[in-house]
Amino acid sequence: MRRIERFTLLAHTGDSDAWPLDSPLLADGELTSERVPGVEIVEQFEIIAGYLLVTDYDCPFEETFHFILLDHQLRTVSRRSLGARFSFVPDSQVHLLQELRWEDDWHFVVVLTECPECWRFTIRKFSIPYLCPRLSVSRIRIVDDTDTP
């Protein structure tokens, strides 16, 4: 796993209310045939399986992070999302991506701010459509000092 800066998203123009939910993907400044959810790339990595992109909508009312797995030919092979569109609640904390920590080449953990739980992602070497995606996620609990046995 290696952090990279190879990809960008084509910027939308005009009124942000009319923007689509996905953006054209650029690799090394060149337009690709892929469109990915979001308007901003938060993190990007080159991995054994290809590339992992983390995108969001760059808006506190869109508390959604998208995790996109691309193969080496820059095709989307799997994607998962955390959060919900229009999840803003008055007087609540906005959840930001606090940490993305790699455990090994096939597993990483994501922690969102002000959240007592985190998520563990697994990148599989194969998939079965609709049953066993290449990118899977499961919620795990963070144990803190206030927990008692």
- How is 73-123 classified by DSSP, letter by letter? TS-EEEEEEEEEET---TTSPPP-EEEEEEEETTEEEEEETT-SEEEEEEE
Asked if residue 83 belongs to a domain, the reply is yes
The pLDDT, as a whole number, for residue 142 is: 64
In angstroms, the CA 97 to CA 118 distance is 10
pTM for the predicted model, two decimal places:
0.85
Which residues on adjacent β-strands are paired with residue 27? 7, 30
CB 51 within 8 A of CB 9: no
Asked if residue 112 belongs to a domain, the reply is yes
* Domain count across the chain: 1
In residues, how long is the chain?
149
The pLDDT, as a whole number, for residue 148 is: 47
Q: Note down the domain range covering 45.
A: 2-13+20-141
The pLDDT, as a whole number, for residue 125 is: 94
Asked if residue 148 belongs to a domain, the reply is no
The pLDDT, as a whole number, for residue 77 is: 96
Asked if residue 36 belongs to a domain, the reply is yes
Asked if residue 146 belongs to a domain, the reply is no
Asked if residue 149 belongs to a domain, the reply is no
Both structure tokens of 109: 């953990």
The pLDDT, as a whole number, for residue 141 is: 73
Per-residue pLDDT of the chain (149 residues), as tens digits, is 999 999 999 988 887 777 888 999 999 999 999 999 999 999 999 999 999 999 998 776 667 899 999 999 999 999 999 876 554 554 455 567 888 999 999 999 998 876 566 899 999 999 998 889 999 999 987 655 555 44
